[in-house]
Amino acid sequence: MSQRVRCATVDDATELAWLAAVTFPLACPPGSTPADQRAFIDAALSVDRFTEYLTDPARLLLVAHDDALPEPIGYTMLVEGEPTDAEVHAAITLRPTVELSKCYVLPGHHGQGVASALMAATLDAARRTGARGIWLGVNQLNERAQGFYRRTGFVRVGTKHFQVGNRLEDDFVLELAL
């Protein structure tokens, strides 16, 4: 498998929305319903929303490809600036900061180094922003993702809430010095 990571463009909005719809439910806790997941996908992960994200100068999206496949196999999204969530604002210790808002890989590509390559490129991009730290929220029941982030060097600095449809989920806030 030949992998590559590149900056996403507006032309990638449709494929990113498809990828997000496939991968977002993987990060949801067992009590999350398909209806709540769909509501979140429709509100935050649609083609229109990805078009907005891709034209927002405070955001950078990276996309991973396997050259043998037509569709992307993973993506990340960075968001520059101070967190607007009060729980996150109080928890993080490094400023200026950048958020790792999204980090997903298609399930058939887990364990193949895609997430590591995507994370390395994402951390390089975060460093280029001039930020001293990077933070993210991860569901408290998503042990697979937490393990990956720990291996990358992220440490837990707090908690926050995350709305998925009608459910309010509990997330850990993790941070890494850049």
The pLDDT tens digits of the residues spanning 103-136 come to 999 998 998 899 999 999 999 999 999 999 999 9
SS (HEC) of 5-43: EEECCHHHHHHHHHHHHHHHHHHCCCCCCHHHHHHHHHH
Q: How far apart are CA 154 and CA 172, in angstroms?
A: 11
Model confidence at 51: pLDDT above 90: yes
Average pLDDT over residues 158-177: 92
Q: Give whole-number Cα distances, 150 to 50, 136, 175, in Å.
A: 28, 12, 10
Confidence category of residue 165, pLDDT binned at 50, 70, 90: confident
Query: According to the model, what pLDDT value does residue 86 have?
Result: 96
Model confidence at 166: pLDDT above 90: no
Record: fold of 3-177: Aminopeptidase (3.40.630)
Least confident range from 2-6, 150-154, 156-160: namely 2-6
Per-residue b or e along 165-175, where b marks 16 or more CB atoms closer than 10 Å to that residue's CB: bebebebbbbb
What are the pLDDT digits (tens) for 27-48?
A: 898 889 999 999 999 999 999 9
Query: According to the model, what pLDDT value does residue 1 have?
Result: 58
pTM for the predicted model, two decimal places: 0.94
Helix axes 13-23, 47-55, angle to 10 degrees: 120
Query: According to the model, what pLDDT value does residue 176 have?
Result: 98
Q: Are 134 and 99 in contact (CB under 8 A)?
A: yes
Least confident range from 15-19, 93-97, 104-108: namely 104-108
Residue 164 sits at φ, ψ, to 5 deg, of -125, 105
